Amino acid sequence: MAVPSLRRALFLAAAAALPFSQLVAGQTIQTEEGVVLEANEKTVAPAGKAVADSNAPEAFVLTDDVIANLSDHNLSNITLFAFPEDDGTTEVQKRTFLASSGCKTAPGDPLWPNRSIWLVFDLLTGGALIETVPIGAVCYPNSGVYNAAKCQTIMANWTSSDLHTADPTSIMFPMFQGETCMPQNGNSSTCTLGGFPVYAVKATNVTQIQLAINFARNLNLRLVVKNTGHDFLGKSTGYGALSIWTHNLKKLEYIKSIKTPSYSGPAFTIGAGIEVKELYEAANKHDVTAIGGDCRTVGVAGGFTAGGGHSPMTSIAGLGSDQVLSIDVVLPNGRFVTADETHHPDLFWALRGGGGATFGVVTGMTVKVWPKTNVSGMTFTVVSGNTSALTNDVFWEGMYAYWRRFPEYAKAGTHGYSLVFPSPLTDGFAFLMNPFWAPGMKLADLKTLVQPLLDEWTKIGFNAGFVGSPKFFEYDNYYDAWTASYPPEAVSTTSVRTASRLFPAKNWEDEETLTGMMKAVRSVVEDGSALVQYNMQAKAPAGTPDSATNSHWRDTVWYGIFGTSWNASLNAAGVEAINRKITEDWMGRLRGYGPGGYLNEGDVMEPEFGEAYFGSNYERLRQIKKAVDPTGLFWAPTAVGSEEWEVQGQKKWLTLQTGKLCKKAAL
């Protein structure tokens, strides 16, 4: 055991086997010198100091003074929670990293902190440390937490995102945690931790996040951030990790008027845990329109804004990242800062579009809002195949007629959200417009806009496939229109992979490119891919400060999510074939037309992800990452700088989060 500082680290006088919750109050910590200190929520946990000059004025933050104070109390070895020296590391960190052979320290490694050390961490955070119990464990008779009634509830609610959002570690694409401890398999397998983190900090204040960051950095632990767990690429989970769970940071405050160098008007200050529906409800109360996703439960200030964030308002208001006025963040060095146009401008740039879990933990942000707006729209369903009078050829002709109009519709400020998928049971295809959405447009004007398309469809016979006729709607506010148009989406299905592409307007300028692109997309859907498609423009509104948002977004008029699911009992070769097909064959056919993809809904195996997910911003983002996080504390698949690390034990065609995270050998 090569690490004397750890050997000298404190230990608890109490029995190590008690659950944390029972150890928080009234316990004593005994230092190696034999000094016994009563450590409880009152003496230790408020390890913070009020800061005045922050966007979160009530925030208490961890400072050097506080650390020194804890040392005075013989809360040894407090260096485990210390801030780094000027070169970005601490003594402890240097030693732990040297002894780590290039991998993050994982359970079972000699340097993995023992229970006593975790208990001290728990005390410092005010009892916020949660030892991971996979959400499905209650379905496993031998798990020690078996509970038939809870198991039934979990199984009944499995596809509801609220179930996973409310759990400290559950994620909505269970494939990435290795589909371990699935509740459905309770009677036939064993519950293990798989790719779940080992511990999670239930963060309710900034200090806890600072402690967690310092602790993970100093001890070379893998750190992940989970907000809601919506991530499509497995970015909010990780084997052997400590997770910071931001879901409970629920601040939500309306600001009547705020002035920044580039904006003047109403805004919201939101905590990192605020979900789309919560922001929309508050905006509706104040008669304004706020920007979030389609989905009710996505975390606005989490992955959504960090990755760009498209919404039904995008053609008018730009992306989520375009709404941000200032961001509160705990950096990889543990320091809490507020970044805006004038303070930490590089960070402010990078945090808007540069991806989640890369530059620190965002604790909250201030976002601008838009005036109350009318929304008109249209929905319809079209099917082809042997139960319909519509042939497949005419189905595709009708799709072409629609796709050809994308630049016009995007420019008009509309947002078309629709699904196209093969329906093998009828040898046909389905097209669900769900909805064609026109904020601020009178219903009569929307009808005028789409009439030429409807006429063309009548002319070519596409109408034969309509199930009913198109339905039009109009609401006098965003909230009611959104509530009616976007029902909750089912999540947590297994055996599914996605990829995405951003198709730029310039493809429409050349007939050969346009037809080539449309045929390529058709061929991929004919080959079995579903297509979730968005017709919109995603330009930054005038006056928006430059951001790291994927440059490919800015000239996009067609955004498509592709992918498919497979039978869970498909054999290994079959699973490999379908996974490779998505990344290599299907995306291979489309990359020439759409080199960009959307990092929040993309393919975890996207080969040139830097170019695809960040575009021309990638090099600058890498520089900022190196400056802000020199030791690589934050890592997530396809995040900026992630190419320097790899998860061990993975297939060439799919990276899950089930193995140790190790630095790649220097080339």
Ligand X SMILES: *[C@@H]1O[C@H](CO)[C@@H](O)[C@H](O)[C@H]1NC(C)=O
Ligand Y SMILES: Cc1cc2nc3c(=O)[nH]c(=O)nc-3n(C[C@H](O)[C@H](O)[C@H](O)COP(=O)(O)OP(=O)(O)OC[C@H]3O[C@@H](n4cnc5c(N)ncnc54)[C@H](O)[C@@H]3O)c2cc1C
The single residue among 37, 399, 441, 636 that binds ligand Y, judged by CB under 6 A, is 636
Q: How far is CA 487 from the centre of its chain?
A: 20
For ligand X, the closer CB: 2 or 627? 2
Does 190 participate in binding ligand X (rule CB under 6 A)? no
Q: Restricting to residues 40-79, which ones interact with ligand X according to CB under 6 A?
A: 41, 45-46, 48-49, 60, 65-66, 69, 73-74, 76-77, 79
Give me the phi and psi of 496, to 5 degrees please.
-140, 140
For ligand Y, the closer CB: 186 or 356? 356
Binding at 120: pick from ligand Y, ligand X, none (beta carbon under 5-8 Å per type): none
Stretch that binds ligand Y, among 52-60, 137-145, 294-302, 341-349 (CB under 6 A): 294-302
Number of residues that bind ligand X (CB under 6 A): 59
Does 567 participate in binding ligand X (rule CB under 6 A)? yes
The single residue among 95, 202, 310, 497 that binds ligand Y, judged by CB under 6 A, is 310
Does 162 participate in binding ligand X (rule CB under 6 A)? yes
Does 228 participate in binding ligand Y (rule CB under 6 A)? yes
- The dihedral sign for the CA sequence 635, 636, 638, 639: negative
- The residue assigned the tokens 């805004």 is 267
Q: Are 235 and 229 in contact (CB under 8 A)?
A: no
Binding at 293: pick from ligand Y, ligand X, none (beta carbon under 5-8 Å per type): ligand Y
How far apart, in Å, are the Cα atoms of 562 and each of 160, 215, 233, 534?
22, 40, 14, 12
Taken as a whole, the chain contains a residue count of: 667
Cβ neighbours, 10 Å, residue 631: 16
Q: What is the DSSP string of 591-631?
A: TTT--B--TTSS-TT-TTHHHHHHGGGHHHHHHHHHHH-TT
Distance CA 624, CA 403 (A): 39
Binding at 225: pick from ligand Y, ligand X, none (beta carbon under 5-8 Å per type): ligand Y
Does 664 participate in binding ligand X (rule CB under 6 A)? no
Does 178 participate in binding ligand Y (rule CB under 6 A)? no
The single residue among 21, 28, 101, 114 that binds ligand X, judged by CB under 6 A, is 114
The three-point CA angle 474-476-482 to 5° equals 70
User: What is the number of the residue whose Cβ is closest to ligand X?
Assistant: 126
The single residue among 37, 128, 290, 491 that binds ligand Y, judged by CB under 6 A, is 491
Which residues are within 8 A (CB) of 324 and not within 5 positions of it... i.e. 6 or more apart?
Answer: 305, 348, 351, 352, 365, 366, 367, 547
Identify which of 321, 277, 283 has the alpha carbon closest to the alpha carbon of residue 302.
Answer: 321
Q: Are 29 and 10 in contact (CB under 8 A)?
A: yes
Order of strands across the sheet with 129-131?
Answer: 129-131, 199-202, 241-245, 222-226
Q: Are 352 and 324 in contact (CB under 8 A)?
A: yes
3-class state of residue 346 by DSSP: helix
For ligand X, the closer CB: 160 or 513? 160
Distance CA 272, CA 209 (A): 12
Binding at 5: pick from ligand Y, ligand X, none (beta carbon under 5-8 Å per type): ligand X
267 half-sphere exposure, CB direction, 13 A CA radius: 19
Tell me how far, at minimum, the Cβ of 237 lies from ligand Y, in Å.
8
Q: Restricting to residues 453-492, which ones interact with ligand X according to CB under 6 A?
A: 474-476
The single residue among 192, 260, 374, 483 that binds ligand X, judged by CB under 6 A, is 374
Does 226 participate in binding ligand Y (rule CB under 6 A)? yes
Does 391 participate in binding ligand X (rule CB under 6 A)? no
For ligand X, the closer CB: 1 or 666? 1
Q: Restricting to residues 230-259, which ones interact with ligand Y according to CB under 6 A?
A: 230-232, 235-236, 246
Tell me how far, at minimum, the Cβ of 131 lies from ligand Y, in Å.
20
Does 502 participate in binding ligand Y (rule CB under 6 A)? no
Does 293 participate in binding ligand Y (rule CB under 6 A)? yes
Does 647 participate in binding ligand Y (rule CB under 6 A)? no
Distance CA 48, CA 210 (A): 10
The residues that touch ligand X, with contacts defined as CB under 6 A, are: 5-9, 11, 16, 32-33, 35, 37, 41, 45-46, 48-49, 60, 65-66, 69, 73-74, 76-77, 79, 91, 114-117, 126, 128, 139, 151, 153, 156-157, 160, 162-163, 183-184, 186-187, 204-205, 207-208, 374, 386, 425-427, 442, 474-476, 567, 569
